[in-house]
């Protein structure tokens, strides 16, 4: 086993079987040493007083785009919900099981966060699956396919051109430039956030701010907007 494998568990050359994850346990040991042994006051306060994060981060489940690692956040700073393609469904309360809605409600109504960030990224597999589904190539997946289909209307409605103007784009062209669909989907989720009455109430009162972020996996650049009606622009 090479050093690369021992640190990251990415080597498939040793034949069938599960990849080693012992390096993750070592990471927790390092976390314990840093926050519980070297400077324990932060974790002591978080344990005794509870969490009070300022930001809810709605991000993709993609292993390459971890919001805490990207932002350098400390424990207690981010309340995070991750799902495939960082999607926010529109407000439709019913008897269904709504994991993203539950996290959103808890963050806004109980933790009273000040910011909600929808964090998307380049090379998103969920958006790729959505574009394939829209083109008639429905992937044989029970849960992923219907989930990502909610991004289709957003990609059609919120695609922006180089001047910032909105325009409808043919599906075949979107497949060639999926980053436009990724960024449009973020705007769609920001609009969906405003369908939740307790989100809209606080946004209109000025006590809650919405942000759309898109991370370019190729360059490391961040694109952002603070309003669903404005295109994402590079900020780094």
Query: pLDDT of 165-218, one tens digit each?
Result: 555 666 677 788 899 899 989 999 999 999 999 999 999 999 999 999 999 999
Domain assignment of residue 28, given as a range: 1-50
Q: State residue 153's pLDDT score.
A: 72
Whether residues 115 and 160 fall in one domain = yes
Q: Taking a C-beta distance cutoff of 8 angstroms, is the pair 209, 222 a contact?
A: no
Whether residues 116 and 205 fall in one domain = yes
Give yes or no for residue 55 having a pLDDT over 60.
yes
Whether residues 9 and 76 fall in one domain = no
Looking at the structure of the chain, the number of domains it has is: 2
Q: Residue 227 maps to which CATH number?
A: 3.40.1050.10
Task: Report how many helices (DSSP H) and strands (DSSP E) the chain contains, helices first.
Answer: 11, 6
Whether residues 73 and 175 fall in one domain = yes
Q: State residue 139's pLDDT score.
A: 79
Instruction: Out of 50, 67, 87, pick the residue that ends a domain.
Output: 50
Strands 233-234 vs 55-60: parallel, antiparallel or unpaired: unpaired
Q: State residue 150's pLDDT score.
A: 84
3-state secondary structure of 13: coil
In this structure, the chain runs to a length of 236
Mean of pLDDT values over 23-31: 97
């Amino acid at each position: 086993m090479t050093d690369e494998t021992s640190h990251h568990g990415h080597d498939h050359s040793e034949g069938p079987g599960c990849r080693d994850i012992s390096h993750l346990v070592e990471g927790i040991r390092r976390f314990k040493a840093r926050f519980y042994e070297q400077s324990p006051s932060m974790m002591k306060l978080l344990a005794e007083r509870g969490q009070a994060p300022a930001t809810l981060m709605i991000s993709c489940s993609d292993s390459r785009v971890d919001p805490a690692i990207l932002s350098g956040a400390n424990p207690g700073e981010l309340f995070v919900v991750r799902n495939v393609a960082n999607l926010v469904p529109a407000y439709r309360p019913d008897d269904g099981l709504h994991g993203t809605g539950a996290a959103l409600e808890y963050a806004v109504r109980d933790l009273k966060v000040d910011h909600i960030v929808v964090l998307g990224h380049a090379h998103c597999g969920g958006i790729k699956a959505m574009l394939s589904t829209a083109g008639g190539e429905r992937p044989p997946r029970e849960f992923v396919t219907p989930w990502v289909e909610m991004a289709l209307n957003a990609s059609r409605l919120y695609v922006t051109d180089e001047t910032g103007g909105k325009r409808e784009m043919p599906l075949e062209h979107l497949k060639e430039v999926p980053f436009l669909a990724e960024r449009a989907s973020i705007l769609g989720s920001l609009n969906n956030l405003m369908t939740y009455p307790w989100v809209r109430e606080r946004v209109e009162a000025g006590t809650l701010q919405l942000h759309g972020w898109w991370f370019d996996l190729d360059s490391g650049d961040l694109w952002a907007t603070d309003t669903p009606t404005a295109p994402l622009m590079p900020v780094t």
